[in-house]
Chains A and B, each alone.
Chain A
Amino acid sequence: MTGKRRLFHAFGVVSITLASLATITTSSGASGSGTIAKGQPVLIGASLSLSGDFSGDGDAFQQGYKLWAADQNKKGGLLGHKVDLKIISDASSPTQVVTNYQALISTFHVNLTFGPFSSLLTLPAATAVNRYGYAMVEGAGGAPSIFNAGLHNVFDAALPVANGLVPFAKWLAALPASRRPKTIAYATSTDPFTEPQIPVAEKIIKAAGIKTVYYKTFPAEPSDYTTIADAVAATNAQVVILGSVDVPTVSAFMQAFEQAHYNPKAFIATAGPDQGKTFLSAVGSGNSNGVMVPNAWYGGSSNPESKTMVAEFIKKYGGTPSEVNADVAEAYAVGQVITAAVKATGGFNNAKIITYLHSGVTIQSVLGAVKFNSLGENNQPTAYTFQWQGSKFVEVNPATDPSATKILFPKPAWKN
């Protein structure tokens, strides 16, 4: 057993080395309380999922954050300080996201923090950031659980999730009886983002006398979507509401619908169709026609802020306004909220920023007006429904909105 002694030796040496190494290389302390020396940049930190489950959205968020920083720097930065972004990857892991935000604050000494992607990571991230008194403005954590956590520092610039489908549901209910569909099918994946949306819509739709012929939840990553889609197709429902979080789910359903020669009169998915080019290329040209998605923003928005951003985006990454991922705008809006708060408070003091954002002010962003309630939800934006019409992504309701295009109903046949 003598060999063992050496091993303990090794173990001890490693621990001590690690302990001393870490001590030498770091200095601790947050920089969230305010002033930045003249000529120094303002450092903003975010953790994004650049690999793993959420990497598709993580990439788009990164584009949005970077685009905002570049634009803001062109305008002279924040209060004369150049904006530097520090983005690190969390590989879609909640453990890593917690470490990352502490590293951003304590090791990289960021002055402000932006949120990660997905409701699942936002809550652990915000809880950690909260300890340092930092505000966390985010654009991708709209699940109700976030706002029920009792955190005072989270601000979600995007649309609160639960009411997303309301305009669509109201539009269905308001159709004249002769045109109103008779049956509807609901299929939703098990996810805190999708599940709360469906009952809200169903209540309105049921009251209008539209019969629910299918209402099932399916696992987040089923081995085979075809059977679920075929079961929906077999009901021949005239409308389908799909609770999806990503492009693969929507494209799998669309493929199976087409293969089953089933074409609902209206088809709306909670997320996926808002992913611009990624969505178009996944579902194939022409097939997107008539597909709808609830959201607060689209690339063709007449909002001047949004127009500028879209132009910048196209200059940098190419494409058309319709191909811009909504994630980009949600990330960009996060930057705008911070810009407004920094300007209004005249500094980078997070406590002041939190107070300011809770004060009921209205901030203009690419997503439209942003105003936070006491929970940090943005209750200002109206939910819109968007629809793919040809290769264009357009706003179709609420119909009262002057910029709304006429809805394509019933949905045209599948293309290829």
Chain B
Amino acid sequence: MNGTAVLHSIIDGVLTGSVYALMATGLTLIFGVMNIINVAQGIFVILGAYLSYALSVHLGIDLFVGLAITIPTLFVVGIVVERVFLSRIKGPERVVMSILVTYAISLVIEGVLNIVFSANYVELHAWYVNRSVRVFGIYLPYIYLLGFALAVVLLGALYIMLYRTRFGASVRASLSDQTSAALVGINVRRVSTVCFGLGVAVTAAGGMIYGATNAFNASSSYDLISRLLVIIVLGGMGSIGGALVAGIMMITIEDLVSVVWGPVWSNLAFFLILVAVLSLRPQGLFGKPSVRVA
């Protein structure tokens, strides 16, 4: 182990972590606005990856160009799911019920994906996927750089939308207090639907990068969702910036531990750190101090 190895692992962590952050952003946005824990987020990521796969294999469309199709498609899927199922959940146990409903939805989607694409692992390919560029003696893979850029662009767009538009103002108002937002004339229902759509739509991008760097099948969603949940709690539920920082932090910590002590301890160390952080700062890194009551 030496300085370069440590630096290298930090760079790996930041690049990979940003992709996780991208996937987690949707989850935290959905929770923040709607008080819904969307455990189907993992399968939506895989759905996005499979859409990119189908476009690239059958129509020869480039992975990044394909996003112009997959992002809107998943947006629509999100809107439909919200309208048909989630809008029916009401009452005091809303958070808990949302877990049940989205869990059931993810089972159905998993079954459909298994039938359509079979359980054989696939991976996304493009000429740049296995290439890399050498910077200061370290090879930086294009796909991770592109993924990082994509995360920055999409999170930036999301940020501008939230802070520079009228719609964003409504979302932020709903994020902080739904009742007051409704009182000042914000259509909280519409805001919720659009937010769920957006939250699902960003998984198309995350899924594409995930699929280009991992061989996957429908069952891969289980590994994903547990990681994504952990990221948004560490970052503070509802905080988009928090998801970004926590995603990068989680992978960086694991990568550092992996290089310094050995990979087998990486997950264990991460969870121990998570327990410690939450004991000291229960609301997560960027969460609002008073946690919403379910």
Contact = CB atoms under 8 A, between A and B. Distances in A.
A380 interface: no
A259 B141 contact: yes
A228 interface: yes
A138 B131 CA distance: 42
B122 interface: yes
A102 interface: no
Interface string A208-246: 000000001111011111111011001000000000001
A359 to B, nearest CB: 38
Q: Which among B8, B119, B218 has the highest number of chain A CB atoms within 10 Å?
A: B119
Interface string B122-135: 11010101111010
B16 A226 contact: yes
A261 B130 CA distance: 10
Contacts of B262: 216-217
Nearest to A225: B214
Contacts of A381: none
B93 interface: no
B244 interface: no
B120 to A, nearest CB: 5
A278 B214 contact: no
A247 B258 contact: no
B292 interface: no
A218 B114 contact: no
A230 B263 contact: no
A226 B122 contact: no
Interface stretch (B77-85, B169-177, B233-241, B249-257): B249-257
A226 B264 contact: no
Contact of A255 (B122, B127, B213): B213
B255 A224 contact: yes
A224 B12 contact: yes
Interface string A243-280: 00011100110011011110000000000000001100
Contact of A259 (B119, B131, B267): B131
A55 B213 contact: no
Contacts of B16: 223-224, 226
Interface string B195-237: 0000000000000000001111111101100010000000000
Contact of A261 (B5, B132, B255, B263): B132
B250 to A, nearest CB: 7
A273 to B, nearest CB: 13
A47 to B, nearest CB: 16
A248 B210 CA distance: 12
B163 interface: no
Contact of B119 (A51, A251, A277, A281): A51
A55 B121 CA distance: 9
Given A230-B9, A251-B215, A219 B121 contact: no
A242 B13 CA distance: 22
Interface in B165-203: none
Contacts of A190: 264
Contacts of B258: 218, 222, 227-228, 231
B119 A282 contact: no
Contacts of A248: 121, 214-216, 220
B118 interface: yes
A217 B120 CA distance: 26
Q: Which among A55, A222, A223, A247 has the highest number of chain B CB atoms within 10 Å?
A: A223
A416 interface: yes
Contact of B130 (A216, A258, A282): A258
A194 to B, nearest CB: 13
A246 B121 contact: yes
Contact of A223 (B127, B215, B216, B250): B250
Contacts of A187: 263
B254 A223 contact: yes
A56 interface: yes
A259 B12 CA distance: 12
B130 A416 contact: yes
Nearest to A251: B215
B20 interface: yes
Interface string B67-110: 00000000000000000000000000000000000000000001
A224 B251 contact: yes
B246 to A, nearest CB: 13
A416 B127 contact: yes
Contacts of A234: 4-5, 8
A218 B119 contact: no
B266 A219 contact: yes
A261 B120 CA distance: 28
Given A218-B258, A222-B266, A261 B219 contact: no
A255 B259 CA distance: 19
A312 interface: no
A50 interface: yes
B156 interface: no
B12 A260 contact: no
B152 to A, nearest CB: 19
Contacts of A295: none
Given A226-B255, A259-B132, A261-B132, 10 more contacts: A56-B121, A59-B119, A218-B263, A222-B254, A223-B16, A227-B8, A230-B9, A255-B130, A282-B215, A416-B127
Interface of B: 4-5, 8-9, 12-13, 16, 20, 110-111, 114, 118-123, 125, 127, 129-132, 134, 139, 141, 144, 213-220, 222-223, 227, 250-251, 254-255, 258-259, 262-264, 266-267
5 contacts: A51-B110, A223-B20, A225-B214, A251-B214, A414-B130
Interface of A: 50-53, 55-56, 58-59, 92, 187, 190, 216-219, 221-228, 230-231, 234, 246-248, 251-252, 255-256, 258-261, 277-278, 281-284, 287, 414, 416
CB-CB nearest 4 A-B residue pairs:
A218-B263, A55-B119, A248-B215, A259-B141
